[in-house]
A and B are shown apart, each in its own frame.
Chain A
Amino acid sequence: KQEVTQIPAALSVPEGENLVLNCSFTDSAIYNLQWFRQDPGKGLTSLLLIQSSQREQTSGRLNASLDKSSGRSTLYIAASQPGDSATYLCAVEGGSYIPTFGRGTSLIVHP
């Protein structure tokens, strides 16, 4: 059974710092990995999707990498802003359209 772990569980940083959020998974036979943002009491917003054949994806200040062989993905946030404060979740899909989510990293960026 796929297990997804996100470290750290919580992070508090001053504005302007570059951040790395980690996601690890136990079964490397995945179709894709997706990073989401969730604001309190809201649904999930997709940030980046990395297909299993890809190594990384970039969108604005966000960069996500994928190393299937080691079962790891990182989400890099450049020049963090208070508006980036949210919970960040990763999800891996291993086939049969069944995603497995991590519990997320709760990020606070203070001015």
Chain B
Amino acid sequence: AQSVTQLDSHVSVSEGTPVLLRCNYSSSYSPSLFWYVQHPNKGLQLLLKYTSAATLVKGINGFEAEFKKSETSFHLTKPSAHMSDAAEYFCVVSPNSGYSTLTFGKGTMLLVSP
């Protein structure tokens, strides 16, 4: 069984300040973990993924995430927010192999103010 919890439904930051979106997961096996981003009225786009290689994963648009097995966390960070980062972000967990489906978190809405 697997589950994912995004700890904040909304996060507000000012442009130029750091971004932290928190995600904890539960999995009975070694998981793959993803962050997807959804801009308003758009489909989802992959930001980055962890699949048991390096624990610090770099993605597009300056985002990165660190897999911490001891804390069962996969938090998403960015050093400096841009207005274009305003979107909804989804943390997703999956088994690391085999036929399986993804489990999505409920999403975190990132608001960026000037």
Q: Do A and B interact with each other, yes or no?
A: no
Q: Which A residues form the contact surface with B (CB < 8 A)?
A: none
Q: Which B residues form the contact surface with A (CB < 8 A)?
A: none
